[in-house]
Structure 1
Amino acid sequence: MTRSWWGWGNVEDAVKGAELKALLERARMLMPGEPTDHEPPDIASLGLPAPRVTAPASLAGLCSADPADRAAHAHGKAFRDVVRNLQGDLRHVPDLVARPRDERDVVDLLDWCTREGIAVIPFGGGSSVVGGVEPRFDDRPGTVTVDLERLDQVMEIDRTSRAARIQAGVFGPRLEEQLRPHGLTLRHFPQSFEFSTLGGWLATRAGGHYATLYTHIDDLVESMRVVTPNGVSASRRLPGSGAGPSPDRLFLGSEGTLGIITEAWMRVQERPRWRAGASVRFGDYAAAVAATRAIAQSGLNPANCRLLDAAEALLNAGADVGGGLLVLAFESADHPVHARLERALELCRDHGGEPSGVTSGEAPGHAGGEPDGAPGDGSAAENWRSSFLRMPYQRDAMARHAVIAETFETACTWDRFDALHRAVTEAARQAMYEVTGTGVVTCRFTHVYPDGPAPYFGVYAPGRWGSMVSQWDHIKAAVSEAIETHGGTITHHHAVGRDHRPWYDRQRPGPFAAALTATKTALDPAGILNPGVLLPAP
């Protein structure tokens, strides 16, 4: 397979044929005329500037100045990144891409960059959608992107404690491949699973497979090892500890600003044996939300509890529902889960839900992706899962045809959801009207907690080639303001990066900002690590 330098995933998996034809039919509903395809440029035509730095002889073998390498590490995989790549707009690129072979190489790279004042951007799979890996600054003598893909091994397995010591550069499929012979799994499957790494998940506090209970990678961490310019931080393996503030919590979500995560002991699980799932249709959205809240507060802890509103259900699950579609799934390695599903369906019926596509029994665990609860039965849940895995590729195809297709997410308490949902939806619609004249907003819950949901919004609107980045930025600013004003978080699992910084600065308490700044200064005195992410660049 060939990784795409400009867009998502593998070149061979791009949208084409009947899938592209169907996608363009949907696009025609949003924009007049025939959509025009825009081919990505050849890398040779980009005219990238010459590297400004040269690695010392001892590190030269780790570093690449190849234009294709530099272009592929210049942006993440957000809509605005894809559009800028398609238009050949790579105004900020790393000077070198370094691939350390072990932790000693990471230490040596940081020592060199600290001495020279060279900015360092830690890089996992590059799937950031918030500007987290982009060298968007010009005041440094150079930038080195440190790609950890060579650190991709499961180093040790503690079967007794059910934990594994894993290097940070391992991609999702490779990680599961190494755990599978032991009958174990991490069971952390974000949408980016195939193209993201353990270190990236830890650095951004990624959300994964579970819609309830084990929602974030935080829940699966036993200890971490992090290389900083001021030394190596290695926390002790413990099931829990009350010994002061958690050192792991300091680096979880630090987004490469405090150090480079090289390995972690992770809590792994037996592979699921029993599964059960169903789809539930609702005629009223408020009732669907109430049913989802009842399940979230029931203690049943479904692995999947995704509520799709009517627009999301129609666009991405092919289900015509008046109020919403709830995709439910339970799983266990220890016991059958049919009784839990039945109780959840009782709660849904109490709120007017109509279940369908019920499945239950022994089944092998997925190699990746989300559980759907009804594998292979042609149900709305199966349609949703298939669409979910193809969404990033379809987003790229729409971008090539000048259609704005992007998402944003948040989380809030249940008591604030109705007001936040109304405000964000209205802000998105108004902003789309101002810059495109029309558009569609969808909403689904990616995760649910006893005290609140994590709403994930989708935006689809006609774009103007050459103006799509500014169009999207206008929409994004409007919805971000609505989220912040109505008590949501600027991000539930996409991270802060550079794109969310203005709203994160307002969300973050002042004393904590001062403490984080002091921590940054102590661990990274030269300010070389990912300048501008989480904190203003020094």
Structure 2
Amino acid sequence: MNGVQHQKWWGWGVEGIAFNYRDKPKMAPFVMDKVGIDLSAPGTPPPAFEEIAVPAPRLGDELAVTLRAAVGDEQVVTDDMDRVVHTYGKGLADLVRVRAGDLPRVPDVVVYPADEDQVCAVVDAVVAADAVLIPFGGGSNISGSLTPPPAEERTVVSLDLGRLNRVLEVDESAGLARIQAGVLGPDMEEQLNARGWTMGHQPDSFRHSTLGGWIATRSSGMQSDKYGDIADITRGLRMVQPGKVVVLRPLPSTSSGPSVREMILGSEGRLGVITEAWVNVHRMPENRDIIAYLYPSWTAALAAMQEISTSDAHPTVTRVSDANETAFSFSTQKKSKGVSGKVQKVLFDVLQRRGWDLDAVCLSYVGYEGGDARVKAEKSVVGKIVKKHGGIKLGRGPGALYDQKKFDTPYIRDFLLDIGAMGDVSETAAPWSKLQDVYSGTFRSAKEAFDQIGCRGFIMCHLSHSYHSGACLYFTFAFAPGTDVAAEQLEKYWVVKNAIQQSFIDTGATISHHHGVGTDHAHWLEEDISTAGTDVMVALLRGVDPGRNLNPGTILPAHREW
């Protein structure tokens, strides 16, 4: 119809791609040992879509006519599949609910504008009708930013920006590109690469998320150590509001009062609809390498990561997994058909004879880009730091494998749901001085939560996105709720998720480093930015959208909505 491709209505990614553990001989024993989950248990696949009862759309004739006049008859869609696809993001709770047919409020219509003028017409029509508008990019959000409020009685319009998918121009002198907000990561990079440029932004959701979505949630990417977070990359933008368009030129820096650009970053559709942005772009690097290292302990790994962040080296990626995540990573290796498996065994035997505790080792990846001399120099600097902290170099092989598989992890979550298990993530950021306390406190809180719900659970962590003052800690947790009832599964899930999020606050970290606030994290906003800070945010959102027509219910805790 319009060429816009969507993810599965019931899970991550596209049809035909799924996680398979059977070619990973160590994984099933590992999972059984850690959480008592039998990966070979008969799974329960998602129901057929026809089994889901979808509420009828509530779209009045007058608004329908206005929308069709704005974008064309074929771009105003009310069929059940399209509406369900636009109901939830891809968070764990989203997937449990949609698989269970829990659809208390579904968008009444999905609209596909072709350009900014059409976006303006749709926004004006929605506000004039006192309806609700929710911008939609790739649908990969995992913090509850896309779902209509369950009690919303007004017409809900999902505005899908998938047709705004082009790189419009490149300012080669300034290293800037003007790009439409609805472009997916791979399509954007393909267009930029054809001109010899890259933006370098690679979040986990890269294949299924958009530039506008990255800006709206303050996204970060795996290569942010070099290229910056999306807040650093975005230099200018255009955003449609009722009756007007905010235009921010792509300036390197400005002192024009409080930053409107910063206000829009992370606004999750509550201030308007982002239609395009000017972003930093870079020439394609001459060399690109991901090197794997191994540390004897998490303490040594943290110290090395901090030293690398303040060294003369400027890697693209600095990531290290704790012992639990390292063990999990090793368990997902395919059976070696050559000498690599023997080499690994010999290496581990040598390390054990040296006194290493193999249950405590931590796997790290560091990425390098640039000319030969620069890459060589940075590898030398990092290599000396790794050695100083007791680590060793594993080489390119494991690094290349990580680079190939880095976007595939979310498929594991769908597989776990099929066999009655739950896996999810929570990420945060804190100063270097607090990272160990945040790490320990989160593990302690998760264990207490697992005990409270009576389930064996597993939690693991990696450090990534290093900054001058601190870094991101990214936690993954899993457990089997022991029930097939969605409401009971979610009740147990929220005990664990809430405990982890609260531990972030209690140990001096933030509620989210790059997933955004949405509804899932809004409860902690006042503890994160203070009540007075929340007052400022309420005043901003209410001043722009007094009628609560723009994605209401996200970001602010429920008691602060007007």
Q: TM-score with structure 1 length normalisation?
A: 0.92
Task: Report the identity percentage.
Answer: 32
Tell me what 1:168 maps to: 181
2:253 aligned with 1:247: no
Q: Partner of 1:238: helix, strand, or coil?
A: coil
Distance apart, 1:216 and its partner CA: 0.9
Letter in 2 for 1:180: N
Q: Which among 201, 208, 219 is matched to residue 195 of structure 1?
A: 208
Alpha carbons of 1:32 and 1:6: their partners in 2 closer, same or farther (altered >3 Å)?
Answer: closer
Q: Which residue of 1 aligns with 2:102?
A: 89
Residue 155 of structure 2 corresponds to which residue in structure 1? Answer: 142
- For residue 12 of structure 1, what is the aligned residue in structure 2? 16
Classify the secondary structure of the residue corresponding to 1:144: strand
2:353 matched to which residue of 1? none
Question: Is 1:348 aligned to residue 366 of structure 2?
Answer: no
**1:2, 1:11 within 8 Å by CA — same for their partners in 2?**
no
Work out the CA distance in 2 between the residues paired with 1:421 and 1:192.
24
CA shift for structure 1 position 321: 5.5
Unpaired runs of 5+ residues, structure 2, are 332-343, 345-357
**8 Å contact 1:23–1:394 — kept in the other structure?**
no
Q: How far did residue 382 of structure 1 move?
A: 3.7
User: C-alpha separation between the residues in 1 aligned to 2:188 and 2:37?
Assistant: 45
Corresponding letter in the other structure for 2:391: G
Query: C-alpha separation between the residues in 1 aligned to 2:497 and 2:51?
Result: 30
Cα deviations by residue, 1:318-340 (Å, 9 ceiling, x for unpaired): 58562312211111268541111
User: SS where residue 140 of structure 2 aligns?
Assistant: coil
Query: Are 1:401 and 2:381 matched, yes or no?
Result: no
Computed over aligned residues only, the root mean square deviation of the Cα atoms, in angstroms, reads: 2.0
Aligned to 1:264: 277
Q: 8 Å contact 2:137–2:212 — kept in the other structure?
A: yes
Q: Distance in 1 between matches of 2:455 and 2:154?
A: 44
> Following TM superposition, by how much is the alpha carbon of 1:125 offset from its aligned partner in structure 2, in angstroms?
0.6
Partner Cα separation in structure 1 for residue 224 and residue 553 of structure 2: 31
Task: Describe how 1:47-196 pairs up with structure 2 within 5 A.
Answer: 47-54=53-60, 55-60=63-68, 61=73, 62-196=75-209
Shift of 1:385: 3.8
**Offset at 1:314?**
1.5
Cα pair distance change 1:282/1:334, threshold 3 Å? closer
Q: Which of 362, 375, 396 is the matching residue for 1:337?
A: 375
Contact 2:240 2:275 in 1 (8 A): yes
Q: Does 1:31 align with 2:36?
A: yes
Which residue, out of 409, 429, 435, partners 1:411? 429
1:378-403 deviations in whole A, cap 9, x for unaligned? x2x34444553221011110111111
Gaps of 5+ in 1: 358-373
Whether the 8 Å CA contact 2:455–2:481 is kept in 1: the answer is: no
Q: For 1:312-367, what per-residue CA distance to the aligned partner results, in whole angstroms no more than 9, with x for missing partners? A: 1121245856231221111126854111111111011111111121xxxxxxxxxx
Code of the residue aligned with 1:195 in structure 2: it is H
1:278 offset after TM fit, Å? 2.3
Distance 2:491 2:23 in 1: 28
Contact residue 125 and residue 197 of structure 1 kept, 8 A: yes
SS in 2 for 1:337: helix
**Superposed displacement of residue 126, structure 1:** 0.8
After superposition, the C-alpha distances for 1:454-475 in whole angstroms (9 at most, x for unaligned) are 1001112122222322221110
Describe the SS at the equivalent of 1:477.
helix
Number of the residue aligned with 1:368:
none
- How many Å separate the matches in 2 of 1:429 and 1:188? 34
Q: How many residues align?
A: 518
> Following superposition of structure 1 onto structure 2, how do residues 230-379 of structure 1 map, counting pairs within 5 Å?
230-318=243-331, 322-332=360-370, 336-357=374-395, 374=396, 377=397, 379=398
How far did residue 52 of structure 1 move? 1.0
| Deviation of 1:24 (Å) | 5.0
Whole-Å separation in 1 of the counterparts to 2:67 and 2:24: 45
DSSP-derived class of the 1:59 partner: helix
Match of 1:507 among 528, 535, 559: 528
**Cα 1:268–1:211, aligned 2, differ >3 Å: closer, same or farther?**
closer
3-state DSSP of counterpart to 1:279? strand
Alignment partner of 1:478 is 2:484? no
Letter in 1 for 2:236: S
